[in-house]
Amino acid sequence: MKNNFADRLQERIDEMGNPTCLGLDPMLSYLPESLLQKYDCRQEEGIYLALSSFCSELIMAVADIVPAIKPQMAYFEQYGLGGLRALQSIIALAKAQGMLVILDGKRNDIGSTAAAYSRAYLSTSGPNDHELNTSQASVAEQGSKKSNNAEHENCKPNNPEQYAQDQTSHKTDNSGQYSQEQAKAFLAADALTVNGYLGSDGIKPFLELCQANGKGIFVLCRTSNPSAGDLQDLELTDGRLVYKAMADLIASWGQDLIGSSGISSVGAVVGATWPAQAAALRRRMPRTFFLIPGFGAQGGTAADAVAGFDRNGRAGIVNASRSLMLAWKKHGPDHDAFAGACRREAIAMRDSLRAALADHRKTKGF
């Protein structure tokens, strides 16, 4: 595996000719009636099965044409353990299909708390290994190193492909509960969205694990929501707007994580609903990967979305959630066809982005 997230993501986009990301923001009200009738969503198990079945079918429908998924954690967290189990299973499935996983949690804090967040979402061998490695030395001094190593070995994640197969079969341990290995596996994302407005000490722990583990982060910069300007458009004493100052920080944070593609694994979240600002931000952050929400249901067009791509039509990935997840509602009452509807919509999105990128390159002289 190449040890640079930006390189892996850009390579996957190039292979598919498609800078699309499937956003997964499930709610029970979004599910087809056929799934709601099949599972008892008043119970944890029913919620898990309904959400995981819905998202898994969407993933399988587009895995050969869409390079990445972006699960929004809040939509799973709202359903408690059943939702988190569903999140766990779909991340494992997506990774087994070769898709990259951008976990949308917008996490941040300072000091040890930020470090804990980074270990939770950007580790490769499990967040517990940090403490296990620290404690092993003292255990060894007491003559217990051998048993401790055995325990440490048991904490390593399963093979992702086999794990995804297990999740498809809804396997648990003998107690009927998810094992420690399974509980950790859903945290193994390729990248995480973070909030940089706490400053550098809230970002440094994430940068360290990005460097060590080949992971990435996308830092909020110019977000797609209507009230983003309440804070992000305020002018600083040096004349810069807040979001431009954030862009300068993001560019500096990413200097040591630029891969062979010339793109950094420290990316920026830049909404498709602000195309003029996106183009200006690209000039400030020429080597930064843009995660671009706001396409489709939020009003962003293909032309809007590609405004933030670089002059070669690279270094950007466009997320669509509701427009893909709920595509089945555009095609009548055939609830069993929701995965096929998602695929058709994803192909249409891909084709519109390809056309917009062709125009984008022409305007940039390519």
- Active site members: 106
Helix (H) or strand (E) holding 304: helix 302-305
Rounded distance between C-alpha atoms, residue 354 and residue 47, angstroms: 37
Residue 350 token pair = 């891909």
Query: Rounded to whole angstroms, what are the CA distances from 216 to 121, 177, 263, 275?
Result: 10, 31, 11, 24
Query: Rounded to whole angstroms, what are the CA distances from 17 to 48, 64, 349?
Result: 33, 11, 12
Rounded distance between C-alpha atoms, residue 27 and residue 51, angstroms: 8
Report the candidate in 329, 335, 286, 278 with the shortest Cα–Cα distance to residue 307: 278
Rounded distance between C-alpha atoms, residue 23 and residue 60, angstroms: 14
Q: HSE-up of 324 (CA within 13 Å, CB side)?
A: 30
Strand partners, 217: 192, 266
Rounded distance between C-alpha atoms, residue 131 and residue 116, angstroms: 11
Neighbours of 251 (CB within 10 A): 18
Helix 129-141 with 145-154: angle, nearest 10 deg: 170
The phi, psi pair for 185, rounded to 5°, reads -65, -30
Rounded distance between C-alpha atoms, residue 243 and residue 340, angstroms: 39
Rounded distance between C-alpha atoms, residue 79 and residue 319, angstroms: 23
Pair 354, 17: CB distance under 8 Å: yes
- The DSSP-derived string for 238-254 is TS-BHHHHHHHHHHHHT
